Amino acid sequence: MSSNKQVVQAFITALGKGDVEGLKATISEDIEAICLGTSLLSGTRGYAEVLGAAGMLGQVTQHGIEFRIVSMTAEEDRVSAEFDGFSTLVNGQPYNNQYHFLFFIRDGRIYRMKEYIDTKLADAALGPFVAGLGA
C-alpha cells in the first residue's frame, strides 16, 4: 500500500472512531474539506471544523462508524476512496451511508478533500444532532 493510501486509511479509521488526536496526525492545519451538495452538512470546513466534526460523530453514535473500504486508488498526490459506513446513533436509529472522498496529500498529510455522500440521508439522521450542537 502506498504511503498516501496509508494516510487515507489512518484518516478513515480515526474519523470512524471519532479520534481527534488520530485525525491531527493525518491532516494539515490548512486543510480545506468540502462536502458537496446543499444539505446541513454541505460546505467548506477548515482544520478546527474537521476535528469538531469527528468529535461530534463520537458523541452522536453509540460506537462510532465502522467504515468498510470498497475501493481505493492512488495517483500522484490524490487518493480516491470509496467506502461504506455502518453505525447506530445514540437514539438507537441506524445510520448507514455510502461515501466517496477524493483526498489530496502533501508532505504526508491531507490538505484538501472532497466528500460525496447521500446528503439527504445525512440530514435526516444527523441533522437533529447538528442543530442541537449549534453547528
Q: Which pLDDT value is given to residue 1?
A: 47
Residue written as grid cell 472532497: 114
Helices (H), the chain: 3-17, 20-24, 47-60, 119-132
13-51 per-position pLDDT tens digit: 999 999 999 999 999 999 999 999 888 888 999 999 999
Q: Is 98 helix (H, G, I), strand (E, B) or coil?
A: strand
Average per-residue pLDDT in the chain? 92
Check if the beta carbon of residue 110 is closer than 8 Å to that of residue 25: no
49-106 per-position pLDDT tens digit: 999 988 888 889 999 999 999 999 999 999 999 999 999 999 999 999 999 999 999 9
Classify residue 16 by burial, with Cβ atoms within 10 Å: 0-12, 13-18, 19+.
buried
Q: How does DSSP classify residue 46? A: -
Region 105-129: what's the mean pLDDT? 92
Check: CATH 3.10.450.50 for 3-126? yes
Q: Which pLDDT value is given to residue 131?
A: 66
Q: Which pLDDT value is given to residue 49?
A: 93
Q: Please, which residues have CB within 8 angstroms of residue 134's CB and are 6 or more apart in sequence?
A: none
